[in-house]
Amino acid sequence: MSYLFTSESVSEGHPDKVADQISDALIDNFMAFDPTSKVACETLVTTGQVVLAGEVKTNTYLDVQSIAREVIRKIGYTKSEYMFEANSCGILSAIHDQSSDINQGVDRKVSNDDFEAKADAQGAGDQGMMFGYATKETENYMPLALDLAHNILQELSKIRNNESHIIGYLRPDAKSQVTIEYSDDNVPQRIDSIVVSTQHDDFGAEADMLKKIKEDIISIVIPRVKAKLKPELQALFNDQITYHINPTGKFVIGGPHGDTGLTGRKIIVDTYGGKGAHGGGAFSGKDPSKVDRSAAYATRHIAKNLVAAGLCDEVLVQVSYAIGVAKPCGLFINTYGTSKSNLTDGEIAKKCAEIFDMRPYAIEQRLKLRNPIYSETAAYGHMGRKNEVVKKTFTAPDGTQVVREVELFTWEKLDFVDKVKTAFGL
């Protein structure tokens, strides 16, 4: 029997995402000037106010107010009527030194630069379990409902920032949701419903505004999203889709004025939209010694390479750690019965543990995580994104500039496909 599955996304102007982007901008600046920094920073945003808190061990000094204001400005909160504006909002910093008790298990010193010595010395920044997931139903090996939800809001953002002549009333805050009907053998059949709530200017009577917004979403945004898909995915769109566009009515008050935002409150949007599993740890605001972040990236890397190699059609990968201990407590794999190998999932996990070194230091090195690569992850998901090399410029409080060439989304690379094929005889 067929079934329905739903995923949601939120825009870069959503208050929780504003908080994530500020936290990750701080991470990037710490990494740019001191790659050895240990950072865990949280952000709260509300009407006219930003609060920064957390723990840092670093050799650099940052103007955190300027960094936060630049993030808010880039998102688009630049008008006083938003009640949250880059130049005028208050910013309180309560960032302090990291606990030496926590650091002692993570940052053990070794007497040489030997990789094995460093990998054995650097323990996990916390206990816990992290999950990675991949499926062949999209080209980027992501669940389709989440991918479409992200794409809708990215198209809205593109129009708001670069093509306001097409739709001129958009404000930064927005949410989307996509429900897909699957066959009982887990193949997408059609899109059942699409929900879009977008903040907007007050440009007329409520009924007229809502009618215009609905028309623009259905006739402009959705066709642009559809046009970028493969023909077989385009076929999932039809005139039977149920649309809920701004279903509560007008949405003029939004962003941090409408709702308080906090770092780490959109962990399902950040990962797989409810597919697979989640260990509960957020990503943004954490340096890569925190395995909540680095090991989640590493398990996605494993999952994507397994599916791309043809070992299975869908896979969930779990890794777990004890704080201060380098070697993982365990590696678990579930191929949901789609494995093309005659090995059990347990045997597959054992082989994967040999192929992929999951000690925290090894993950940092393999995925190049001690670089300023995190701002780009803080909206529209950390997974399924484009792996590319970019140049980024950072300015210190004294005016000193650092230009770094960095590789983004390294965990999306298919650089282990050949190793997987060899190991499993594919």
Q: Binding site annotation covers 416? A: no
Secondary structure element (H or E) that encloses residue 101, with its range: helix 100-106
Percent of the chain with pLDDT strictly greater than 70: 96
Convert the pLDDT of each residue in 302-357 to its tens digit.
Answer: 999 999 999 999 999 999 999 999 999 999 999 999 999 999 999 999 999 999 99
Percent of the chain with pLDDT strictly greater than 90: 92
Q: Binding site annotation covers 412? A: no
Q: Binding site annotation covers 181? A: no
Convert the pLDDT of each residue in 244-264 to its tens digit.
Answer: 999 999 999 999 999 999 999
Q: Binding site annotation covers 388? A: no
Q: Binding site annotation covers 413? A: no
Q: Binding site annotation covers 350? A: no
User: Residue 102 — very low, low, confident or very high, per pLDDT cuts 50/70/90?
Assistant: low
Q: Binding site annotation covers 251? A: yes
User: Residue 104 — very low, low, confident or very high, per pLDDT cuts 50/70/90?
Assistant: low
Secondary structure percentages of the chain, helix, strand, coil, to 5: 35, 25, 40
Q: Binding site annotation covers 184? A: no
pLDDT at 111 over 90: no
Q: Binding site annotation covers 259? A: yes
pLDDT at 116 over 90: no
Q: Binding site annotation covers 265? A: yes
Predicted confidence at residue 265, as pLDDT, reads 97
pLDDT at 210 over 90: yes
Q: Which domains does the chain have, with CATH numbers?
A: 3-10+144-253 (3.30.300.10), 128-136+288-424 (3.30.300.10)
What SS3 state is found at 418?
helix
Predicted confidence at residue 110, as pLDDT, reads 65
| Average pLDDT for 292-296 | 98
Q: Binding site annotation covers 19? A: no
> Mean pLDDT over all residues of the chain?
95
Picking from 370, 368, 360, the residue whose alpha carbon sits closest to that of residue 322 is 360
Buried b (16+ CB within 10 A) or exposed e, 154-175: bbbbebbeeeeeebebbbbbbb
Inter-CA distances, 274 with 131, 156, 191, 266, 368, Å: 12, 23, 17, 11, 27
Q: CA-CA distance, 171 to 159, in Å (whole number)?
A: 11
Q: Binding site annotation covers 286? A: yes
Q: Binding site annotation covers 98? A: yes
Strand arrangement, sheet containing 314-321 = 128-135, 314-321, 330-334
Alpha helices (runs of H) in 281-374, residue ranges in sequence order: 291-308, 345-355, 360-366
Q: Are 299 and 366 in contact (CB under 8 A)?
A: no
pTM: 0.96
What SS3 state is found at 404?
strand
Q: Binding site annotation covers 250? A: yes
User: Residue 420 — very low, low, confident or very high, per pLDDT cuts 50/70/90?
Assistant: very high
